[in-house]
Chain A
Amino acid sequence: MALAWRAARLDERRPQTATARSLVFTVPGWPGHLPGQHVDVRLTADDGYQAVRSYSLAAPADGDRIELGVQSVPGGEVSPYLAEELPPGAEVEVRGPLGNWFVRRPEQTEPALLIAGGSGVVPLAAMIRAHRRAGAPSLLQLLYSVRTPADVWYADELTDHDPRLDVRLLYTRQAPPGTARAPARLTLSDLEKPAARLESTGTVYVCGPTGFVETVGDLLLDLGRDPATIRTERFG
């Protein structure tokens, strides 16, 4: 059966960083989704012109409510409109859920390593939130590469003390005072320990810009991980 376009009403828009927003929509008839999946969002101008872009779902299924993560791209056709202009209560159209590969299913309660670059954290946040909601006892590790402390999405949730979630922030430009690791791009030594804590059959999810995902994928292969255990999602 073909996926339908559904009306989605903007309920809430929350800032995550200076340029990133969480958008919560109500989508009557939403069929539910898996952590890691995304949706297409369609905008329509007054003359009928339409533009469509994909956005990751940031939270597990919650009835007919969905949360998207939108990073506003300067000069972008769709993201600045969603991040700043779409009025609360107004509608867009969404189609989904999409993507059945970069997903963590409810029955997957085993440990996993999540590696995010920038806004690549969005689909991984859905996995973390689902893991918490299910009360799964196993450990999720999140390695999260950001430019500066001000660029961290979901800061409240990712910094609290949950023994089943081990978050390591890797700053590339500027780190908070007292951070032992000097600001730098992710290297092999950043990956060694987290990878060693995950058994060889455990899944590694990597999401971020292409250059980031390429680098992380190469380093994981250098560490001897089986390519079949590495799932990637890229943008840009």
Chain B
Amino acid sequence: MSSFSPGFRGRARSLADRLPPGQYPTEQFPVLSAGPTPRVSTDTWAFTITTETGETHSWSWTEMMALPQQETVTDIHCVTRWSKFDTPWRGVSLDAFFEDVETAADFVLAHSYGGYTTNLPLEDLLDGKAWLVHTYDGYPLSPEHGGPARLLVPHLYLWKSAKWVRGLRLSDDDEPGFWESVGYHEYGDPWREQRNWGD
């Protein structure tokens, strides 16, 4: 018998292979953000990649929508411990944006409308592992979930999938982003339970 929480039974254990440690499944779509939802119009929206040499590549909304569009269905995992299975997204693979970008940088700082930032290794954004998404479950992505467009990096905790993303800044150095500066893990692999500093 466990010495903690006597009499606790919990739910069915059937999801063990799909659920990272310490997570629970939800049918809802909870929201985590640090401040008010920014107002972003697709008329003025732009997505910009800035290389370590200062070279910029930029796409308007119309130009982004003209890139090859992909559907992806994936499980997502939030550091606040909910996981949601089989979420359907539509958007552009980041590989398409990086096609003509010349870089030797190892790290990316994603930045968003509203000032949010998050850092990732560049390799985690390439080779079909990440998208810029604008449609969720057949509908335009709602503002509280990051619309008009957010990153989707489903193999990392969801705070890395920057909402309201407006650009990626490439760098040789790993600069901590917003949550990473106040205690969240620098990488955030849900399967290794990298939630906080030192995990």
Contact = CB atoms under 8 A, between A and B. Distances in A.
Q: Is the interface of A mostly helix, strand, loop or mixed?
A: mixed
Interface hub of B1, B114, B183 (most chain A Cβ within 10 A): B183
B31 A3 contact: no
Interface string A1-29: 11100010000000000000000000000
A3 B183 CA distance: 11
A107 interface: no
Nearest to A219: B36
A234 B30 contact: yes
A227 B114 contact: yes
Contacts of A188: none
B144 interface: yes
A46 B9 CA distance: 7
A180 interface: no
B39 interface: yes
Contacts, number: 114
B138 interface: no
B32 interface: yes
A3 B198 contact: yes
Q: Is the interface of B mostly helix, strand, loop or mixed?
A: loop
A196 B198 CA distance: 42
A217 B30 contact: no
Contacts of A43: 4-5, 8, 10
B2 A45 contact: yes
B3 A217 contact: no
- Interface residue tally on B, bucketed by range: 35 or more
B28 interface: yes
A52 interface: yes
B36 A235 contact: no
A201 interface: no
Contacts of B5: 43-45, 81, 86, 90-92
B30 A100 contact: no
Contact of B115 (A92, A228, A235): A228
Given A2-B199, A3-B198, A210 B144 contact: yes
Nearest to A210: B31
Interface in A210-236: 210, 213-214, 217-218, 220-221, 227-228, 230-232, 234-236
B35 interface: yes
A160 interface: no
Interface in A123-176: none
Contacts of A109: none
Interface of A: 1-3, 7, 40, 42-54, 77, 81, 85-87, 90-93, 98-102, 210, 213-214, 217-218, 220-221, 227-228, 230-232, 234-236
Task: Across the A-B interface, give the 3 residue pairs with the lowest CB-CB distance, nearest first.
Answer: A217-B36, A100-B182, A2-B198
